[in-house]
């Protein structure tokens, strides 16, 4: 009986945690399971009549970004870089089991080579932000752990994929959601993450 009660409490705790995460960050996780769709849309890189299509988006990539944004395709991720803020308005990617189990990779922060220096941050721009009074992490939009076994894993360390996040967010709920994405990919084969 105690074991059943523990399992029930654990299930309730996980459900509440996921519910709170999705309530606080409604656009953070728009996850699709390819196994739930009777027919998978064929998408390709490029702009079509209705918008942007890419293999990392299940259907059309997110909209809502300004027309001045620069679309950057790093194969494993695609993002819409804002020329003014120098941060991505959105980052879309596909999590697959084949990319998960790889060697430990270093966080070698770098300027995005696809962006002109006037439209992107450089590693020096983050100097001192991790200390008081700021306490910010360099937060991956597309996590490094999702691509450890991909040959282009280094692309997620480009600063175009990084947003300053408070440490307790980056190492707390954000990390939990990233873990959920990997778990879903291991279970379902493919998980798409593209904020709407």
Q: What is the CATH number of the domain that holds 107?
A: 3.40.570.10
77, part of any domain: yes
Question: Does the residue 17 lie in any domain?
Answer: no
**Rounded Cα distance, 138 and 163, in Å:** 6
> Which pLDDT does position 30 carry in this prediction?
43
Catalytic residue, from 54, 74, 140, 150: name it: 140
The percent of residues in the chain predicted with pLDDT above 70, rounded, is 72
Average pLDDT over residues 126-133: 84
Mean pLDDT to the nearest integer, 160-172: 92
Contacts of residue 175, Cβ cutoff 8 Å, sequence gap at least 6: none
Residue 23: CA atoms inside 13 Å, Cβ hemisphere, count? 6
Confidence of residue 128 (pLDDT cuts 50, 70, 90): confident
Average pLDDT over residues 28-45: 35
Whole-number pLDDT of residue 68: 84
Mean pLDDT, residues 166-174: 91
Q: How far apart are CA 66 and CA 155, in angstroms?
A: 23
What contacts 24+ positions apart, CB below 8 Å, involve 174-181? Answer: 174/28, 174/139, 176/17, 176/21, 177/21, 177/25, 177/28, 177/29, 178/143, 178/145, 178/146, 180/18, 180/29, 181/29, 181/31, 181/95, 181/143, 181/146
Per the DSSP assignment, residues forming a β-bridge with 138 are 164
- With a cut of 90, say whether residue 24 has pLDDT above it: no
* Encoded tokens for 81: 């870089």
Annotation marks residue 140 as catalytic: yes
At residue 44, the pLDDT reads: 33
Split into its structural domains, the chain has a count of 1
pLDDT at residue number 195: 72
Over pLDDT 90: what percentage of the chain? 52
Residue 154 contacts by C-beta under 8 Å, 6 or more apart in sequence?
Answer: 105, 108, 110
**Residue 20 within a domain:** no
Task: Provide the residue range defining the domain that includes 104.
Answer: 32-193
Instruction: Reply yes or no on whether the pLDDT at 196 is more than 50.
Output: yes
Residue 94 gets which letter from DSSP? E
Residue count of the chain: 196
Query: What is the structure's pLDDT at 36?
Result: 34
Q: How confident is the model at residue 19 (pLDDT cuts 50, 70, 90)?
A: low
Confidence of residue 18 (pLDDT cuts 50, 70, 90): low
Distance CA 180, CA 22 (A): 12
**Is residue 22 one of the residues assigned to a domain?**
no
Let me know the angle formed at the C-alpha of 140 by 137 and 146, rounded to the nearest 5 degrees.
Answer: 135
Q: Where are the alpha helices (DSSP H) in the chain?
A: 2-24, 167-170, 173-188
Task: Flag whether 8 is in a domain.
Answer: no
Per-residue pLDDT band for 29 (boundaries 50, 70, 90) equals very low
């Amino acid at each position: 009986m105690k074991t059943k009660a523990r399992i029930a409490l654990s299930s309730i705790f996980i459900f509440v945690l996921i519910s709170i995460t999705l309530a606080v960050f409604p656009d953070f996780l728009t996850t699709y399971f390819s196994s739930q769709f009777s027919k998978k849309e064929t998408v390709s890189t490029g702009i079509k009549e209705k918008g942007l299509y890419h293999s990392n988006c299940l259907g059309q990539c997110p909209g809502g970004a300004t027309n001045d944004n620069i679309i950057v395709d790093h194969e494993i991720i695609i993002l819409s870089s804002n020329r003014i803020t120098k941060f991505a308005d959105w980052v879309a990617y596909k999590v697959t089991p084949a990319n998960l189990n790889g060697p430990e990779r270093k966080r070698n922060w770098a300027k995005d080579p696809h962006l002109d220096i006037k439209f992107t941050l450089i590693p020096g721009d983050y100097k001192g932000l991790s200390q008081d009074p700021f306490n910010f992490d360099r937060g991956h939009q597309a996590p490094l752990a999702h691509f450890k076994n991909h040959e282009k894993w280094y692309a997620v360390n480009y600063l175009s994929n990084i947003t300053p996040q408070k440490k307790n967010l980056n190492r707390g709920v954000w990390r939990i959601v990233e873990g959920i994405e990997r778990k879903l990919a291991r279970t379902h084969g493919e998980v798409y993450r593209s904020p709407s």
